[in-house]
Amino acid sequence: MSTSDIKTALVTGASSGIGYAVVRELVKNGFRVYACARRVDLLEQLSKEYEPHRVIPYPLDISNFEEIVLLKEYLSTHLPRQRLDILYNNAGQSCTMPAVDVTNERLNQLFQVNVIGHMNITSQLCKFLINSKGTIVFTGSLSGVSVFPFGAVYAASKAAIHQYARVLHAEMKMFDVRVINAITGGVSTDIADTKPLPENSPFYFPEGIEALENRKFMAARNFPMSAETYAEKVVKDIVSPKDPVDIYRGSLATLISWIMMFAPYWLVEWVVFKKFKLDKVEKALRKRSETTKEK
């Protein structure tokens, strides 16, 4: 097979976790991969494990539009026949924090990385996908369809990506470009947010702090799927001729999605309160309120 006949993929957020595993799995399936991340030292090590030009590290901050434009220019001169077979939009940041405690700076950064960056890179590289009749993939999340306390901002970013992917699917279908929205459950990665609760938070009391800490390590306690197994399943979806739009991968992904689809919201919220110890938080708050009134 000549160099120009090898199928080509580009993966963002490729330096660790899901992105890193996806790069490996794509190479296993015969792809040349442009592996993009802000830090490329791990990717450079990975590229040395394969034959030359099989994994090509590329430094990219997806929140920086100018860098995305430069990436497009780079690919214009390096892609064989101006074709990109897979664009895997995986880069992301987590945010586990009460909604009212997320600062404007952090809110903007999260949406730049989790939403706007993916939209920009998709629009800038779409001509390469159209040329190849390729596939665009987004790493979605159960957070975008379910109710996970202290994750409102992250959930909102993923819900935005879900809807973007679904509408994009309808628009790109006429170009024979597939769009896959991978609604992701528990996967063993290092994306967990460990930032502490600010002292001025309305939740800054023992029960609130405990509930937040319990939420931070939720995924690790629920038997998450390995990143390698997840990547194997999603790449199998990519190389399949099927066109499902939404796929559910990762531990509990299908189960929770069905629950959210059919269970009444009051029941979901009741279970969430019990599961995440919000009932204890509410009880402590009401007790504090009563004590304040008595004074």
Q: Could you list the active site residues?
A: 15, 154, 158
Distance CA 178, CA 242 (A): 9
- Give the torsion through C-alpha atoms of 16, 21, 26, 29, to 10 deg: 160
Distance CA 286, CA 199 (A): 20
Q: Which helix (H) or strand (E) holds 75?
A: helix 65-78
SS (H, E, C) 165-233: HHHHHHHHHHHCCEEEEEEECEEECCCCCCCCCCCCCCCCCHHHHHHHHHHHCHHHHCCCEEHHHHHHH
What is the rounded CA–CA span in Å between residue 130 and residue 111?
A: 26
Task: Write out the two tokens for 40.
Answer: 């490329």
